[in-house]
Amino acid sequence: MAGHPHHVRRGHHHQDRHRYAGQGRNRRLLHAGRRGSGRGPGRGPPRFTGSLSPRDSLVQMASSGGGGHSVRAFMRILIRTSKWAIWSRRLGSFALPLAIIPVFMHRERMIPSDTFHVIEALAIACAIAALVLGLGAYLRLWFTGDRGWGKATLGILFSLVCLAPALYGASLALRYPMVVDVSTDPTNPPAIMSQVVLPARALETEIAVIAAFPNARARAYPIDAQQMFDIVLSLVTEQGWDVRQRSRPQTPLETGTINAIVTTWLGWRDEVAFRIAGDVEGSTVDMRSVSLQGRHDLGTNGQRVEGFMIALDDAVTRLLRDTPVALPEQETEVDPSIEVETEPAG
């Protein structure tokens, strides 16, 4: 019984020697790796072999120590995420709702047009920054091997969604003349009720408008002004335009007018005006479309006038086809010098 504690102490000393020896070998191994990292003489850093990949963030270093015992140490390698990719996704995800939400607020007239323009300009700036950072992140990730491909891709997609309407609007601005007022009768356009100051147009601009919108012309129909007024009013209602003022002609030879407000899909407001003038041969229809904000309508007014007048042509064609206009009967005159022979009956 007296030797039992001594035997326990010897066992503890034996375990301590193995633990200290192992710790010493670990320190020598790590110290050798540091010396071989280019900062002094010594063995080079152990090469990464086996099936472990850098993405697993574990690299196995194997080395054999004295006494045939092997020591394995695991070193964790941190794969960085590109800051360019992170900020590209952040700015893109911020620009997307910043560009969409104000559209609905502007349509419901919760914010004025000036505030809407400032917010959309800020959204476009954020989208451009996200696109630049995303493309820059692609270039850096290709050479560095860092993470962030998914974040950069999301940032680029968000930015393209925000920039697509702006790029489309820029293409329309280059395609159509810079005007905010299009009428089928430029010399005497129908009157509008909105109090807006319209800039004077040069002759070259008027020629460009005529060339861009060849179907924006007045129409003359063999239908009296009262019936023509009803047809125009029904088409305006079908378009969903807000009729603000109308004056129906009391006689077929009088003139009727219609004024309505149109809300675009971005929330801008335009006014359309119609004039139905009656005459002895039927009636003449003129139309005018005016943008109440901005300096360039991006071709909206001209396309609106052309589309409505073509729809009016179709409506009148269907009406005349279903109810043709009755022409007055012409009496045939008989020459008294011509004798008509009649055979006796029976």
Q: Is the pLDDT of residue 36 over 50?
A: no
| Alpha-carbon distances, residue 264 vs 115, 116, 213, 302 (angstroms) | 17, 14, 19, 14
Ordered by start, the domain boundaries in the chain are 83-175, 181-322
Q: What pLDDT score does 213 carry?
A: 95
Q: Percentage helix, strand, coil, to 5, in the chain? A: 50, 15, 35
What is residue 207's three-state secondary structure?
helix
Q: What pLDDT score does 38 carry?
A: 45
Q: Torsion over CA of 153, 154, 157 and 161, rounded to 10 degrees? A: -170
Q: What pLDDT score does 28 carry?
A: 53
Contact by Cβ (8 Å): 190, 273: yes
Please return the burial class of 131, using the count of CB atoms within 10 Å of its CB with bins 0-12, 13-18 and 19+: buried
Q: Residue 135: which pLDDT band, with cuts at 50, 70 and 90?
A: very high
* Distance, CA of 62 to chain centre: 57
Average pLDDT over residues 287-308: 93
pLDDT 10s digits, 79-116: 788 899 999 999 999 999 999 999 999 988 899 988 99
pLDDT 10s digits, 46-68: 444 443 444 444 444 444 444 44
**CATH numeric code, 181-322:** 3.30.310.80
Neighbours of 230 (CB within 10 A): 14
